Amino acid sequence: MSDTPLPASLAEIADDFRSASNELKLQLLLEFSDELPGLPERYAGHLDQLERVDECQSPLFLTVEVADGASLDDRVVNIFFDAPAEAPTTRGFAGILHEGLDGLSAAEVLAVPDDAPMRFGLAEAVSPLRMRGMVAMLGRIKRQVRAKTAA
């Protein structure tokens, strides 16, 4: 794993997961699933405006909005997810990334190490296939931020 630090908001979540038993990790994941906000009105019924994350076992869609600003440090990132209620693990991963990254600057999001999902200690609680889905979500978020901030 890289030694690049996580943003404080994501590091706090990672610490909570790492210190929990596997049973508690799954409970925490369910809480994040329940707390994932719905899509704003402008995206409701418009999944064609979102990107599908094919690596997820359940249909998960996401999009990123980046505010205007003079530099990447000034540009706030907002992340939106759509995941079915019957996919609590996928929703939980989305909830973690939403809670940990939404509202950060573009610079902070782009600095998140690609191995960040592996720092939650979830690999022993969920399958490698599911972990690949969370890694893919982070990759898509960062790619969209890069695309939307390219001059």
- Give the chain's length: 151
Query: pTM of the full predicted structure?
Result: 0.95
- Please report the pLDDT score of residue 151 as a whole number: 66
Q: Go through 131-147 and write b for each residue having 16 or more CB atoms within 10 A of its CB, e for each that does not.
A: bebbbbbbebbbebbee
Res. 1: pLDDT tops 70? no
pLDDT in tens, 76-116: 999 999 999 999 999 999 999 999 999 999 999 999 999 99
Side-chain-facing half-sphere of 145: CA atoms under 13 Å: 27
Give the mean pLDDT of 133-150.
Answer: 96
- Please report the pLDDT score of residue 12 as a whole number: 96
Give the mean pLDDT of 23-45.
Answer: 95
- Please report the pLDDT score of residue 57 as a whole number: 85
Confidence of residue 126 (pLDDT cuts 50, 70, 90): confident
Q: What value, to the nearest 5°, has the Cα angle with vertex 105 and ends 25 and 10?
A: 15
